[in-house]
Structure 1
Amino acid sequence: MNGRLIAIGDIHGFNKPLQTLLGAIKPAPEDLIVTLGDYVDRGPDSKGVIDTLIELGQKTQLVALQGNHEEMMLNVVRGDEPHHAWLRYGGVETLESYNFDGEMNFLPPEHEAFYNSLGDYFIHDQFFFTHAAYDPNLEMDQQPTELLRWHSLRAGIPDPHFSGRTAVVGHTANHEAEILDVGHLICLDTNCYGGGLLTAMELPSKRVWQSNPEGVLIR
């Protein structure tokens, strides 16, 4: 691959900082951007985030992973789960961004296609990407969904993966808005929805771009 490999942490409905980062990164067609999930909930413009990502995928190579918040939302939209938990964890803000009128078919067709395209993991060169975590002893296609989407690093950072690849994850928000880098694992959730920062990192150089929730570029 001649282009850059760039990962973006949990966005959570904050479209302004996402657009700020993309304006600074200036993605080219040959670049590969991996978004780590949790595009929706909590922030003010989940619909706008998805619009931005769909547009991004028309300009560059985009690999979008599914987070636990997309899982919660889709389970409700598809009628598989009651709405209570999702609404408690940010679903209200997502519904408002879609101008929800009580009908569960509120997702535009292009958004449904985007959500249906989300993957559980991605492997590229010496890196692999998941939303939350992994089992260090299992092949990626054997990983439990619970670990990939829900495991908090506060409950334990997994050992290095047997493949030797470096894990790049999100999900566990660092309340000090700092990147967690323990060598074999990098976590890019820098707590944008909690007043921290939205983070993008180029790999393997580890060049970083960050924006605050108001869309001001910090670095």
Structure 2
Amino acid sequence: MSTFAIGDIHGGLKALVQVLNKLEVTEEDTLIFMGDYVDGWSESAQVVSFLIELSKKINCIFIKGNHDVWCEEWLKDESVNPTWYMHGGKETIDSYDGFTAAEKSEHLTFFENLLLYHLDDANRLFLHAGFTSMHGVVKEMFPGNFYFDRTLWEMALAMNVTIDKNNPTYPKRLQHYAEIYIGHTPTTNFGIPTPMNRANVWNVDTGAAFKGKVCAMNIDTKTYYQSDNLPGLYPDEKGRN
């Protein structure tokens, strides 16, 4: 039995399928999706349909990303967040062309049921972005931080990694969990095309929204699998810029 954390997809169905084929998952495995299923490439609606069907065959845990929040709002009442529209929302709206009202309703239910975070039996935390409470996710006062916050990752990047976890100067946010897995901030922002690890935080967003790849990591072995670069899979598209 293996558990895989899968980074941001951003409408790149072809990349997602590539990665899943490399994993060779079985019915005993668990897939934890870190959010941002939509916005960027042309197959956002198709990604959601694919994930709904996949979850009927394999144990899937779906985390909510900020782009998923915007898409949920649009599916609910057709409200278009201007920021969303400029950052992949237009492509997502276009991808729903030809979808029936029943199919859109099924997708809305999918988005409404997404988790803000997941904590497993080994005290490993999975969430899209971060949190700010020094007391951990259960004390987070602003739920939007789970899918918008970047300070958790920024803090991890700035840390002196030689500090022992039991040292009083060690960030209290990180002391609550054995490991923390996130997406949201592409590792390609730092010139790194693969997953990044700082302290006990693992970032598995390897830039699929832009010129990077969809990534899946085995959380026990830390072996990771990646798709081709998204622009190569969608040569007639620009993705998010």
Q: Secondary structure at the match of 2:125?
A: strand
Q: Secondary structure at the match of 2:39?
A: coil
Is 1:10 aligned to residue 26 of structure 2? no
Matches within 5 A, 1:133-148: 133-135=130-132, 137-143=134-140, 144-148=142-146
Q: 1:198 to 1:153 in 2, by over 3 A?
A: farther
Which residue does 2:104 correspond to in 1?
108
Amino acid at match of 1:14: G
Q: Secondary structure at the match of 1:129?
A: strand
Q: Which structure: greater helix fraction?
A: 2
Give the alignment partner of residue 127 of structure 2, picking from 120, 130, 135. Answer: 130
Aligned length: 211
Give the alignment partner of residue 116 of structure 2, picking from 120, 127, 133. Answer: 120
Matches within 5 A, 1:1-219: 3-79=1-77, 82-99=80-97, 108-124=104-120, 125-135=122-132, 137-143=134-140, 144-153=142-151, 156-157=154-155, 159=171, 160-175=173-188, 176=191, 177-212=193-228, 213=230, 214=232
Q: 1:139 to 1:153 in 2, by over 3 A?
A: closer
CA contact 1:167–1:185 (8 Å) conserved in 2: yes
CA contact 2:69–2:111 (8 Å) conserved in 1: no
CA contact 1:190–1:199 (8 Å) conserved in 2: yes
CA contact 1:136–1:161 (8 Å) conserved in 2: no
Amino acid at match of 2:216: A
Higher CA-based Rg: 2
Q: 1:138 to 1:107 in 2, by over 3 A?
A: farther
Shift of 1:109: 2.9
* Distance in 1 between residues matched to 2:10 and 2:95, nearest whole Å: 12
Cα-to-partner distance string for 1:65-108 (whole Å, 9 max, x where unaligned) = 1000011222233349653221111100001111179x9x6852
Amino acid at match of 2:123: Q
Q: Secondary structure at the match of 2:218?
A: strand
* Distance in 2 between residues matched to 1:195 and 1:108, nearest whole Å: 29
Superposition RMSD in Å: 2.3
- Equivalent pairs: percent with the same residue? 25
* Distance in 2 between residues matched to 1:203 and 1:22, nearest whole Å: 15
* Distance in 2 between residues matched to 1:149 and 1:19, nearest whole Å: 24
Q: 1:58 to 1:15 in 2, by over 3 A?
A: same
Cα-to-partner distance string for 1:111-147 (whole Å, 9 max, x where unaligned) = 1221121000001113110000123622323323232
Unaligned runs of 5+ in 2: 157-170, 234-241
Deviates more, 1:181-190 or 1:135-144: 135-144
Q: 1:85 to 1:100 in 2, by over 3 A?
A: farther
Cα-to-partner distance string for 1:147-170 (whole Å, 9 max, x where unaligned) = 211012598225452323211000
Cα-to-partner distance string for 1:39-87 (whole Å, 9 max, x where unaligned) = 0001110011112211210111100010000112222333496532211
Give TM-score, length-normalised by structure 2: 0.79
Q: Secondary structure at the match of 1:149?
A: helix
